[in-house]
Amino acid sequence: MTATGATTFKNYIAGEWVDAANGQTFESTSPANGDAIGVFPKSGPEDVDRAVAAAKAAYEEWRLVPAPRRGEILFRFGALLADQKDDIAELMTREMGKVLPEAAGDVQEAIDMSYYMAGEGRRLFGQTTPSELPDKFQMSVRMPVGVVGVITPWNFPIAIPSWKMLPALVCGNTVVFKPATDTPSLGERFVELLVEAGVPNGVVNIVHGGGREVGEHLVQHPDVPIITFTGSRETGVAVTKSAADGLKLVHLELGGKNAIIVMDDADVDLAVDGIVWSAFGTSGQRCTAASRVIVQDGVYDELASRLVGRVEQLRLGPGWEEETDVGPVINRGALEKIHSYTGIGRDEGAKLLTGGEVAGGNGLDNGFYYRPTVFGDVEPGMRIAQEEIFGPTTALIRVRDLDDAIRVSNGVKYGLSSSIFTQDVNKAFRAMRDLNTGITYINAGTTGAEVHLPFGGTKDTGNGHREAGQAALDVFTEWKSIYVDYSGKLQRAQIDTTENPAP
């Protein structure tokens, strides 16, 4: 225990809980009220080196554990998460700020991913194909790669580690995990449960600390062939450059500027429900958040009026209070950034319809709360319609028709999630075809991905890889092609021969 009364935690390296080599620490506090959550190692390169060495050594045995046995450990992990779901959700509301139902959903997503990836232990499918030569068999199989460097953000502090670590583990890789410094306690709990589930020493290691001291060294480490990172576009570019000399496989899940299209024939009440959930759930701190609403002329005024009325009824407060609709944002820096975009929107000529201020009073003064904000009369080229705000702000953009709506939706550098509300099946199918995003929803908001489909986006949202579903396995495995010739003689493929000419 420290002088503040907060529990002191450690890194987990080679099966042991250890302090940072430099002895330094940092404190995690609640964004809701400033309460101390815990004290964690402020690690450095030496700690990363130890963790990578442990993971590299453990890999030689872990890769030989039959994949179904690896999957059984993930099944046990999922069961432990389910058993402790309420406690973890409560911790998440305090350390990250989500309201309790959303926090429980974050944990549930990790439970779902645990069971899904555990099942891959009995699949990990390859392919068999016929050979062009007689008496010859051939197939492709997935092979593990080695040590995976996992760097995760604070906004989904249980779900996102599960998207990365569980497929890596079931494929036979080992892990060095750097959780976000805003949510280290949740990262710690994740690893504690993996250990309890039976992951062997050295297979999973956690090193707490900052991006420069821990993350950058992990990215550059010569014994880490795979880096999986979720965060901002700017940091993702830096990760790519840092890993380039090592020719590492880099998996990036970056930003979004997601749009909901509302056509004149839409169910307006349903559309408002989808916008409120997508724009203001998790206080807008989702890469899939709906920070743009593209509305056809005929329904614009009605939708704007109904949306503002709903938004003004949302209650801010700590996530553990049952009546809270919108919790705090993660820290003061985020609060200041979000508020700066309100000023930008006003300066650009957008009309502030509601919100746009830091919230105080009524017990909110010790936390980081921002009023849910809606701008109207937004032009597609305005900064508030182009740049990721990552807060409870959305912008209403008026359009003429579906072609105009699709053009505006696609007219940003990101391509993660998109949505359209319409009762016209032809418009729905055109949107499915023409919206340039990795995810498209019909008559639903921009959030709500399920673990058995690929998650990720186009353009600057990432670098072409996907999380979740079977697509995730491609990040954490290499393909090996195998040929077995049982003819008893040397046969040369791709060599012209007069023997056995083709018909």
Domains of the chain, earliest start first: 46-254+462-481 (3.40.605.10), 258-442 (3.40.309.10)
pLDDT in tens, 263-305: 999 999 999 999 999 999 999 999 999 999 999 999 999 999 9
pLDDT at res. 256: 98
Residue 216 has pLDDT above 70, yes or no: yes
Place of tokens 């045995």: 61
Residue 228's DSSP bridge partners are 150, 251
pLDDT at res. 2: 42
Q: Tokens standing for 386?
A: 């182009």
Torsion of CA 186, 192, 197, 203, to 10 degrees: 100
pLDDT in tens, 409-465: 999 999 999 999 999 999 999 999 999 999 999 999 999 999 999 999 999 999 999
Residue pair 142/23 in contact by the 8 Å Cβ criterion:
no
Q: CA-CA distance, 447 to 275, in Å (whole number)?
A: 10
Q: CA-CA distance, 398 to 405, in Å (whole number)?
A: 9
Nearest Cα to 401, choosing from 305, 302, 306, 300? 300
Q: Tokens standing for 126?
A: 């390859």
Residue 287 annotated as catalytic: yes
Half-sphere exposure of 270 (CA within 13 A, CB side): 16
Cβ contacts of 33 within 8 Å, gap of 6 or more: 318, 366, 367
Helix axis angle, 100-120 to 67-83, nearest 10°? 160
Buried b (16+ CB within 10 A) or exposed e, 104-133: bbbbbbbbbbbbbbbebbeebeeeeeeeeb
pLDDT at res. 497: 59
The percent of residues above 70 in pLDDT, for the chain, comes to 97
Q: Which candidate in 287, 323, 388, 478 is catalytic?
A: 287
Q: CA-CA distance, 407 to 474, in Å (whole number)?
A: 32
Phi, psi torsion values for 407, nearest 5 degrees: -60, -45
Helix axis angle, 159-170 to 67-83, nearest 10°? 160
pLDDT at res. 500: 55
Residue 136 has pLDDT above 60, yes or no: yes
pLDDT at res. 494: 79
Phi-psi group of 368: left, alpha or beta (phi > 0 → left; psi -120 to 50 → alpha; rest → beta): beta
DSSP code of residue 247 = T
Helix runs in 4-146, H state only: 45-62, 67-83, 85-95, 100-120
pLDDT at res. 59: 98
Phi, psi torsion values for 188, nearest 5 degrees: -60, -45
pLDDT at res. 498: 52
Nearest Cα to 124, choosing from 63, 190, 198? 63
pLDDT at res. 503: 47
Residue pair 438/417 in contact by the 8 Å Cβ criterion:
yes
Place of tokens 């959305």: 394
Q: CA-CA distance, 260 to 409, in Å (whole number)?
A: 8
Residue 139's DSSP bridge partners are 128, 482
pLDDT in tens, 38-91: 999 999 999 999 999 999 999 999 999 999 999 999 999 999 999 999 999 999
Q: CA-CA distance, 399 to 167, in Å (whole number)?
A: 42
Buried b (16+ CB within 10 A) or exposed e, 233-262: bebbebbbebbeebebbbbbbbbbbbbbbb
Q: CA-CA distance, 499 to 341, in Å (whole number)?
A: 73
Residue 253 annotated as catalytic: yes
Q: Tokens standing for 219?
A: 């990215």
Residue pair 91/186 in contact by the 8 Å Cβ criterion:
yes
Q: Which candidate in 102, 120, 213, 253 is catalytic?
A: 253
Q: CA-CA distance, 139 to 484, in Å (whole number)?
A: 9
pLDDT at res. 5: 60
